[in-house]
Amino acid sequence: TTHLVGSALSDPYLSFAAGMTGLAGPLHGLANQEVLLWINNVREVLGEQPTKEALTDFVWDTLKNGKVVPGYGHAVLRLTDPRYTCQREFALKHLPDDPMFKLVSLLYEVVPAVLKETGKVKNPWPNVDAHSGVLLQHYGVSEANFYTVLFGVSRCLGVLSQGVWDRALGLPIERPKSLTMSVLEELCGGKE
């Protein structure tokens, strides 16, 4: 989003603000907050230390109610997110007895198998959001509204330096592709 808005030669601050605003939805920048809400719901229903069987049933109930298990799956990756693995290794070393980390670890044992069993999921593995909120909370960053800011600001130098290159190279404005209604109807096979 930052790159797209910047291609109109918008002020870099406004371009980055647009990118940050684009992260404000639960499918991206708020994803780790959604994970925390779901994990806290698990704790309310099953207690601090649920059994593997109870957690498996809870995951199935989540799916049967038409919901997703937040923190699992990724649009591009088809394996465990390496950022998740890095955070997991850090947590194993520095906070192995944290109750929330223990629950995240148990979810790692349970969720992929359940998602595979559905036969509908291409990527049943955890992404970075399955872990990051728990680490932030452990280290005292309990105001979840700041998580998106941390996520976005860490990308600031990359996206803004791309904007500098775009301008130096004189690249044209980017325009998102749009489809007419007739094209969409054709894609759907003309079904009504």
Whether 129 is a known active-site residue: answer yes
CB–CB of 175/4 below 8 Å?
A: no
**Residue 63's CB: how many other CB atoms inside 10 A?**
18
Alpha carbon dihedral 77, 82, 84, 89, in 10-degree steps, equals: 160
Q: Which of 61, 81, 98, 129 is catalytic?
A: 129
Cα–Cα distance, 36 to 134 (Å, whole number): 7
Cα–Cα distance, 151 to 158 (Å, whole number): 13
Helix axes 129-138, 99-118, angle to 10 degrees: 170
> Smallest Cα–Cα separation from 101: which of 15, 6, 36, 170?
36
Whether 28 is a known active-site residue: answer yes
Q: Which of 57, 61, 74, 97 is catalytic?
A: 74
Cα–Cα distance, 103 to 98 (Å, whole number): 9
Whether 131 is a known active-site residue: answer no
- Give the CA distances from residue 7 to residues 27, 118, 127, 170, in Å, rounded to whole numbers and listed in that order: 25, 42, 30, 10
Q: Which of 28, 57, 98, 166 is catalytic?
A: 28
Which residues are known catalytic residues? Answer: 28, 74, 129
